[in-house]
């Protein structure tokens, strides 16, 4: 008899808490092999193909293409070891391709289902008494491994009773049983059980903020994640349950037509709403955090890049690979960071320390169809101009194709932003949190310039440096930027540091 295994969205690393389903690679009824990719998801970092750790027949899929799932939410169920119970592709508690309701975290419905109260969250197939004897995958995923996982305990969520007609409208959290005192909540058997003091285990700060903004007490929830971890689906289910709970009977007054409102309750004009998720959402979160946490300052200078452009032309006239301008600028940045290591650092706010790095992992901004990403060139200080050119080309191509891994997008210590490719002269960069500085480079264009005491037309570029004022003062930042400008104006200066 087949054992139905539930495959949940694994932890994809780098602190990622959710992913968007881009493309299903299997359908209900398909046969899958061990480690076969079953779904392509987009995280805030990259596009990832998720492999299934078991071989068998797909009995259900959870989530539609374009929808988001939190880490730990069910992706699909697989019948392992033989035909599924009942001879069909469906398993107890699992929805088929026709959109039947399926058990999900926090009692949330499957595709096409309605929110339910008192739903039993259990492993599909557990009602048949199936034991977990199937072999696991050798590809270790978080929550899955080479051995069978222990069976989850059965969890029942009781139905929250409606308040008395004379009582005020209940708070949004409504999963505490009536009469339960402070610090108590319903246990698995419906009895009141004490709630431990201290922070409630939540999968991410975003879920904690969602609960706080909605007036939801996390202590009243029973998390469906590992060891009672509260997932986003648990919070959303509690809010939906509260919205469907009946309130005291009051004769309703005629209500005006609904007006769209923003998060702060103010009316907003009609228009198209674009969700901030995936890469766009990650960029929004990181830039907001940078502005919120980093006391930044910006200085800038115009530099005569005529000699640098001539040097690049001479290098490319010789036999060998062509050298890009951004690679030359990267070499200059690396040399400047060796002289001013304060800017190759980060601030550890918990320890109140500035951490200076002894290696330069250089990030660079790359615009793609999916949004702005910042790939990282590892150990940029060990590469020459030719090696930097090749690595920039490789990472840029992978970024545009959506093939960057999370490791390619994290771990940077300093960022170079060449916004001159957009035809603009200058900008004030926002620091790529948690780094301490970013160098911005505008376009190189002919401008009137005083050269050797005479007015001449020269190739001029604007350089701007945004830095974290906690790691250094203006003298250090100005010295860094002045050294970069000197190398741009006289590339021979760079030879002294090589």
| Residues designated as active site | 469
Question: CB under 8 Å, gap of 24 or more: what pairs does 352-358 form?
Answer: 354/436, 354/470, 354/471, 357/413
8 Å CB contact between 319 and 452: no
8 Å CB contact between 400 and 367: no
- Name the helix (H) or strand (E) containing 77: strand 74-80
**How far, in Å, CA of 187 to CA of 13, rounded?**
32
Sign, CA dihedral 488-491-497-498, equals positive
Read off the DSSP letter of residue 227: G
Q: Helix, strand, coil % (nearest 5) of the chain?
A: 25, 25, 50
**Residue 156: exposure state from Cβ atoms within 10 A (0-12, 13-18, ≥19):** middle
**Structure-token pair, residue 497:** 């540091």
**How far, in Å, CA of 115 to CA of 107, rounded?**
7
**How far, in Å, CA of 293 to CA of 295, rounded?**
7
**How far, in Å, CA of 230 to CA of 208, rounded?**
9
8 Å CB contact between 343 and 471: yes
Phi, psi for residue 216 in degrees, rounded to 5:
-100, 130
Tell me how many degrees the CA angle 33-39-40 measures, rounded to the nearest 5: 135
Residue with token string 């020459």: 384
Largest alpha-carbon pair distance within the chain?
Answer: 91
């Amino acid at each position: 008899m087949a054992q139905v295994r539930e495959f949940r969205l694994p932890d994809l690393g780098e602190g990622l808490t959710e992913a968007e389903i881009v493309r299903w690679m299997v359908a209900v009824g398909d046969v899958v092999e061990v480690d076969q990719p079953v779904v392509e998801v987009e995280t805030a970092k990259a596009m990832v193909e998720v492999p299934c750790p078991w071989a068998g027949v797909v009995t259900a899929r959870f989530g539609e293409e374009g929808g988001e799932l939190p880490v730990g939410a069910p992706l699909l169920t697989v019948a392992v070891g033989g035909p599924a119970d009942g001879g069909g592709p469906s398993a107890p508690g699992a929805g088929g391709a026709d959109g039947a309701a399926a058990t999900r975290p926090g009692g949330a419905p499957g595709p096409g289902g309605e929110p339910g109260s008192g739903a039993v969250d259990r492993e599909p197939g557990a009602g048949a008494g199936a034991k977990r004897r199937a072999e696991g995958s050798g590809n270790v995923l978080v929550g899955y491994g080479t051995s069978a996982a222990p069976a989850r305990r059965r969890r029942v969520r009781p139905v929250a009773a409606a308040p008395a007609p004379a009582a005020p409208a209940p708070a949004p959290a409504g999963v505490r049983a009536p009469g339960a005192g402070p610090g108590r909540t319903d246990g698995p058997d419906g009895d009141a059980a004490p709630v431990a003091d201290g922070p409630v285990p939540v999968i991410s700060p975003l879920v904690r903020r969602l609960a706080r903004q909605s007036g939801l007490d996390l202590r009243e929830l029973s998390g469906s994640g590992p060891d009672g971890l509260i997932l986003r689906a648990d919070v959303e289910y509690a809010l939906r349950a509260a919205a469907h709970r009946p309130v005291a009977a009051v004769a309703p007054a005629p209500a005006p037509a609904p007006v769209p409102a923003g998060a702060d309750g103010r009316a907003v004009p009609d228009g198209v709403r674009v969700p901030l998720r995936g890469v766009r959402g990650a960029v929004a979160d990181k830039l907001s955090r940078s502005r919120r946490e980093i006391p930044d300052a910006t200085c800038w200078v115009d530099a005569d890049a005529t000699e640098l452009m001539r040097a690049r032309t001479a290098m490319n006239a010789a036999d060998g690979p062509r050298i890009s301008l951004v690679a030359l600028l990267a070499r200059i940045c690396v040399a400047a960071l060796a002289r001013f290591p304060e800017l190759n650092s980060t601030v550890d706010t918990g320890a109140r320390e500035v951490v200076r790095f002894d290696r330069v992992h250089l990030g660079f901004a790359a615009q793609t169809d999916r949004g702005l990403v910042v790939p990282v060139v590892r150990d940029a200080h060990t590469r020459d101009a030719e090696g930097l050119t090749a690595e920039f080309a490789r990472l840029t191509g992978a970024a545009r194709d959506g093939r960057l891994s999370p490791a390619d997008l994290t771990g940077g210590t300093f960022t170079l932003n060449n916004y001159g490719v957009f035809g603009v002269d200058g900008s004030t960069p926002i620091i790529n949190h948690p780094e301490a500085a970013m160098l911005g480079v505008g376009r190189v264009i002919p401008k009137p310039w005083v050269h050797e005491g005479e007015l001449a037309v020269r190739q001029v570029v604007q350089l701007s440096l945004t830095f974290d004022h906690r790691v250094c003062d203006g003298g250090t930042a100005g010295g860094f930027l002045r050294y970069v400008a000197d190398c741009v104006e006289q590339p021979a200066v760079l030879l002294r540091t090589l």
